Chain A
Amino acid sequence: MAGNLQHPFQCVQFIERQSSGLQDLLVASAGSRVYSYAVGNGQRLAVWPQNVESVNNESTGSTGPESSSDSQAPPEKKRKVSSENEQNEHSKSATESSDKSQPSVTWSTVPLLVPSSDGRHLVALTGEDKTIRVLKVAEDGTLEQISARSMPKRPSSIVLAGDDSTILSADKFGDVYSLPLIPSDNPARIQRNLRQAKVSAPVASNLTVHTKRNLASLEQQKKYLEQNGSQEKPGPDFEHQLLLGHVSLLTDLAFVSLQSESSNNKRSYVLTADKDEHIRVSRGPPQSHVIENYCLGHNSFVSSLCIPQWAPEFLVSGGGDGYLIVWKWLEGRIIERVSILDETSENKEVAVRGIWAASLSESADPSKVSNVILVAIDGSSKLLSYALEADGTLKSHSPIQVSGNVLSVSSMDRNGMILVSIDSVREAGSTQTWRTNPASAQTLVEAFGVKPETGGLQWEPITEGMASSINAQGTSSVPATISEKQKQEMNESLYNLGNLRKRGFGDDD
């Protein structure tokens, strides 16, 4: 596949299945597709959507235009190879899909992948159509869509809660919804959505508006309603519930259960981060309207939350202000603030792309584990590595240098390995400049393990095996003839954290 640039993996996730007697999987999204690989030898097991050949040329060719014009744009010429398959999928879903007989995929990216902890399901968010798709992960690693639910606003973060039974989705409108992982067969139990409460008549009356202009427009409204009837957009017609909301754009979401000190029960919490510097700690459903506290301390947007499984009382957060903050989140207390600014670089506008917690077993002695916090900066080829000490402070290790911008990280704890997905399309350190001369074999992922050593933690690359196998199999190609505008759109969709910075102000200031 040399010559053409290939879609990088936007999201990689490890699916642990060994405890249920199955092979562990790695799932990764690139372009409009999701791939599954066998952990170990890295052999590709499946591609979703399945109609690889037919979609291949189309989806890559239309990545650009689709991202700009949504699914409304006149579709390019498409062969109806996949229609049967698609309709099958849609008939199973509870969404209004009757009008969607479009044969090809309606998205060009899959920004989020969230596996269930039992490894049987994978929740995928598809980009432009804002649709949460639940895929069934078969024993052999193949993926099959079992439901598609189109959300009212684009979700920015998704987690699974309550023993995998519930999807929590935080969106760009500031709301968090919960939906069952598997929609119940009985669609009658649809929660009413307050925000889309029925309004069939204008709420204003000549008691409440007085100016000539307002009265005239009220008259217009009434006339319009008489002629056309209420033209409200109906809310989603699947079972869902509004849990909480910020009046801001939500960037990340975390769900955590803690053993309560006073009782034997576990208490669950939902943490939400927004563009306006807030981290909110709410109780888990069904009491998500009870806010326990706020973690305030970031000076710019918050983009990532990470609560390590091995130390759930701590939260590591990052955003646009050049700091990581470690919190004792239940008290809203800052333990430590750690600068992530590169002293040598002039760029002070860094944004944290992701924070991951890994607990890696040593290959020689599985009882020895290294607990690490990994931090990726948007548009940087350095993956920062820290140890989280028992008192909650971060101890910096030497960072991991990879060959391109870090996009996503997945840790395979028991294998003592992390897999880093690399942007092989753009130059390292740039979110805009495309590589001109693609190497013969593109690097999509790089694997690293912990070097057994005394003292500070050292990483060493694992070149053989899984990573090289995944790289060799490649992903779909980005067409060579893609226009500058399309490139721009692809950059935007992959690197959008910069938009969270406050630049424009309200026009009344």
Chain B
Amino acid sequence: MPAPPAKRQKRDNKDSQSQTPSEAGDGTKLPQKRYFRQRAHANPLSDHKLSYPLTPAHMDWASLFPEYVDPDPSKINLGGTRKLLKNVEVADIGCGFGGLLVGLAPLMPDTLMVGMEIRHLVIEYVRQRIDALRAQQQQLKSSTSSPHPNNETESSNTSAESPSNTAISPVAGGYQNISSLRSNTMKFLPNFFAKHQLSKIFICFPDPHFKVRKHKARIISETLNAEYAYVLRPGGLLYTITDVEGYHNWILEHFHDVPAKDGDNASKEGDNAKPAEVDVGSEGGIKDVWERVPDEELQHDPCIQCMKDSTEEGQKVTRNNGMKFVAVFRRKADPEWPA
């Protein structure tokens, strides 16, 4: 069902307005979300005008993380751009308006994190938002001579959507460790990240694609989980959160962690030997590279709270009194080759 033309017209008008606020002032002003609204769905199966590196070694990370560029100018990657001092380790797939990134930035101030999003207006918002946050931090640093970087409690406040520029407090890392790029990760994830490069992947409030016919467009599937396992290092974690219970069950099912079998979680942890009784379809299945992280372990993980409260979608669900379902999976070491 295509949107009626009138609606599109309205959006196009907004598009043109979006140019103006971004240029305002010294770049410390946060962008306003209302200029960057875009239809919530993008078809991941179609060709978009995307740019993506030929291989991970061709990726220009330097322009995304200027503070982390290797000072040695002779260190150049295959794409001809400067190398970074460290690799990107965290990916927020479908980062939306960037709430999670902004929330995570002070939690892992020395870890490079990138948000990936397919909708071009939304990613432009995130880019401007991070630019503004970085500029604010820079300004703060130069104005106050006594920085006190340990400010974790206050930093979580800044993650809340606050269009006003009041009460800027210094944040560990100065938002130099987060960035964003436009991509269709369902197709091009291996173009950005090498094997085992990532330590964490976040997939927050994915597009539920309710119709059965559209299930191929879901960002969690047994076949895509193999790709996530490829870019995630053994021991790395994949975080998911959704407000749709049916999708949560879908996620569990596609990691072969069927809800009904939750009880035997403990037995899976002990050793990586396959359980004697293998359910149909999981013979050598995706389960031998993933295991669900039990809830007790997650209680001390600050990322969980961040997913629930910092993401725009999470806040919306709270406003509407919806439910939030979290599932975290640990990437196991590759199984032994069959004898």
Contact = CB atoms under 8 A, between A and B. Distances in A.
Interface in B165-211: 186-188, 190-191, 195, 208, 210
Contacts of A286: 283-284, 338
B24 interface: no
Contacts of B226: 244, 282, 289-291
A199 to B, nearest CB: 5
B187 A194 contact: no
Contacts of A241: 281
Interface in B22-73: 38-39, 42-49, 54-55
A208 B335 contact: no
Nearest to A503: B47
Interface string B273-294: 0000000110111101100000
A203 B247 contact: yes
B147 interface: no
A455 interface: no
Interface in B111-130: 119-120
B338 A287 contact: yes
B222 A247 contact: no
B329 to A, nearest CB: 13
B304 interface: no
Interface in B99-154: 119-120
Contacts of A278: 190
Contact of A207 (B47, B48, B216, B320): B320
Interface stretch (A293-301, A357-365, A478-486): A293-301
The 4 closest A-B pairs by CB, nearest first: A286-B284, A245-B223, A203-B246, A247-B186
Contacts of A287: 284, 288, 335, 337-338
Nearest to B47: A502
5 contacts: A191-B280, A205-B245, A232-B212, A245-B221, A291-B226
A73 interface: no
Interface residues of A, number: 53
A21 B18 CA distance: 76
A505 B229 contact: no
A175 B216 CA distance: 10
Nearest to B190: A294
Contacts of B210: 202-204
B6 interface: no
A283 B338 CA distance: 10
Contacts of A232: 212
Contact of A247 (B120, B224, B322): B224
Given A232-B212, A242-B223, A506-B46, A208 B283 contact: no
Nearest to A502: B47
A506 to B, nearest CB: 4
Contacts of A267: 337
A296 B289 CA distance: 24
Interface in A126-177: 173-175
Interface of B: 38-39, 42-49, 54-55, 119-120, 186-188, 190-191, 195, 208, 210, 212, 215-216, 221-227, 229-230, 243-247, 250, 253-254, 280-281, 283-286, 288-289, 320-323, 334-335, 337-339
Nearest to A289: B226
Given A197-B253, A203-B245, 19 more contacts: A173-B216, A199-B246, A204-B208, A204-B210, A205-B245, A210-B320, A232-B212, A244-B223, A245-B222, A265-B337, A265-B338, A265-B339, A276-B188, A282-B226, A283-B337, A289-B226, A290-B335, A505-B46, A506-B48
A78 interface: no
B285 to A, nearest CB: 7
B223 A285 contact: no
Nearest to B218: A195
Contacts of B285: 289
Contacts of B286: 289
B280 to A, nearest CB: 6
A275 to B, nearest CB: 9
Contact of A508 (B38, B225, B230, B280): B38
Which of B222, B223, B244, B250 has the most A CB atoms < 10 Å from its CB?
B223
B322 A207 contact: yes
A196 interface: yes
Contacts of B49: 505-506, 509
Contacts of A263: 337, 339
Contacts of A199: 212, 246
A265 B208 CA distance: 43
Contact of B47 (A205, A282, A506): A506
A260 interface: yes
Contact of A175 (B223, B225, B230, B289): B223
B195 A293 contact: yes
A194 B222 contact: yes
Nearest to A189: B280
Which of A194, A278, A297 has the most B CB atoms < 10 Å from its CB?
A194
B254 A194 contact: yes
B176 to A, nearest CB: 29
Given A194-B281, A286-B283, A296 B55 contact: yes
A228 B250 CA distance: 24
Contacts of B247: 203
Given A196-B212, A290-B335, A208 B243 contact: yes
B313 to A, nearest CB: 11
A502 B337 CA distance: 38
B39 A508 contact: yes
B135 to A, nearest CB: 29
Contacts of A276: 187-188
A232 B320 CA distance: 31
A245 B225 CA distance: 10
A245 B321 CA distance: 36
Given A242-B223, A504-B47, A508-B119, A296 B281 contact: no
Interface string A198-233: 010011110110100000000000000000000010
Contacts of A289: 222-223, 225-226, 229, 284-286, 289
B244 A505 contact: no
A203 B288 CA distance: 28
A289 B282 CA distance: 11
A289 B281 CA distance: 13
A115 B141 CA distance: 71
A290 B187 CA distance: 17
A348 interface: no
Given A204-B210, A204-B244, A194 B253 contact: yes
A121 to B, nearest CB: 25
A506 B280 CA distance: 38
Given A241-B281, A286-B283, A297 B224 contact: no
Interface string A255-268: 00000100101010
A430 interface: no
Interface in A472-509: 502, 504-506, 508-509
A403 interface: no
A241 B212 CA distance: 19
A71 interface: no
A206 B335 CA distance: 42
Contacts of A191: 280-281
A192 interface: yes
A123 B220 CA distance: 33
Contact of A509 (B120, B245, B246): B120
